[in-house]
Structure 1
Amino acid sequence: MSALRLYIDLVQKMNRAIGRVAMYGIFLLMAILLWSSVSKVFFTPSLWTLEMAQFVMVGYYILGGPYAIQMGSNVRMDLLYGEWSTRRKAAVDSVTICFLIFYLGVLLWGGIDSTIYSFSYGGERSPTAWRPYLWPIKMTMCIGIVLMLLQAFAELFKDILRLRGEEIAADVV
Structure 2
Amino acid sequence: MCLAIIAVMLYEIAARYFFNSPTAWAHEVTTMLYGTFCIIAGTYTHRYQGHVRSEALYHLFSRRGKAILDTLTGSLVLFVLIVFFMASVDFAADSWARGEMSSRSTWAPPLYPFKTVLPVAVGLITLQSAAHLIRDICVAFNLGCDACETRGSE
- 1:33 maps to a residue whose letter is M
Unmatched runs of 5 consecutive residues or more in structure 2: none
Q: CA deviation at 1:163?
A: 1.2
- 2:149 maps to a residue whose letter is I
Aligned length: 146
Counterpart check, 1:42 vs 2:21: no
Counterpart check, 1:168 vs 2:149: yes
- Percent identity reads 27
C-alpha RMSD of matched pairs (Å):
1.5
2: distance between equivalents of 1:37 and 1:84?
52
Of the two structures, which has the highest relative contact order with CA contacts closer than 8 Å and spacing of 6 or more? 1
Q: TM-score of the superposition, structure 2-length normalised?
A: 0.87
Q: Which of the pair has more CA radius of gyration?
A: 2
Q: TM-score of the superposition, structure 1-length normalised?
A: 0.78
Residue by residue, what CA displacement relative to the aligned partner does 1:11-44 show, whole Å, maximum 9, x if unpaired? Answer: xxxxxxxxxxxxxx22222222222222221231
Q: Which residue of 1 aligns with 2:59?
A: 82
Residue by residue, what CA displacement relative to the aligned partner does 1:25-83 show, whole Å, maximum 9, x if unpaired? Answer: 22222222222222221231111111111111122122222221111111111111122
Q: Which residue of 2 aligns with 1:126?
A: 102
Which of these residues, 11, 35, 38, is aligned with residue 58 of structure 1?
35
Unmatched runs of 5 consecutive residues or more in structure 1: 1-24
| Mean Cα deviation higher: 136-145 or 35-44 | 35-44
Q: Which residue of 2 aligns with 1:73?
A: 50
